[in-house]
């Protein structure tokens, strides 16, 4: 944890905003992916947290399902816009190419996120 970087009011605001987003569960579909990968690898996910109570587990899985629904809706709206041409893409670019470019750019963002995590891990 890098709490020593929280040294200004903007950093505190950013931290509390991130904590609110984490509590809301909008990103919890990543935990489902983590559990699926652990299951596929045949290795249990090790955690320092105590086991969840029934209420905590129900709240956790509610947030996972909510996150998956929001993600699916967002992807559906984005793809609908790309396939119908409701974008600011150049006029000569076919809609299918716009979809391919979208997924390529999303892959680049994913790679950059992974590199950022790796750089911080190496820096420690």
Which tens digit of pLDDT belongs to each residue from 50-67?
989 999 999 999 999 999
The reported pLDDT for the residue numbered 39 is: 93
The reported pLDDT for the residue numbered 91 is: 85
Residue 7 lies in a domain: no
Q: Which residues of the chain have pLDDT under 70?
A: 1-4
The reported pLDDT for the residue numbered 24 is: 87
Residue 8 lies in a domain: no
Distance CA 104, CA 99 (A): 9
Containing domain of residue 105, as a range? 26-123
Residue 119 lies in a domain: yes
- Number of domains within the chain: 1
Q: Are 14 and 21 in contact (CB under 8 A)?
A: no
Tell me the whole-structure pTM to 2 decimals: 0.73
DSSP letter for 46, please: P
**Which residue matches tokens 């905003």?**
17
């Amino acid at each position: 944890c890098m709490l020593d970087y929280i040294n200004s009011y903007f950093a505190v605001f950013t931290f509390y905003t991130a904590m609110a987003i984490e509590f809301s569960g909008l990103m919890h579909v990543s935990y489902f992916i983590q559990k699926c990968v652990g299951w596929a690898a045949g290795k249990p996910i090790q955690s320092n947290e105590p086991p969840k109570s029934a209420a905590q587990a129900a709240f956790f899985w509610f947030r996972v399902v909510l996150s998956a629904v929001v993600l699916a809706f967002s992807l559906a709206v984005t793809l609908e816009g790309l396939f119908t041409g409701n974008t600011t893409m150049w006029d000569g670019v076919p809609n299918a190419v716009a979809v391919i470019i979208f997924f390529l750019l999303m892959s680049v963002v994913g790679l950059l996120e992974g590199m950022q995590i790796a750089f911080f891990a190496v820096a420690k």
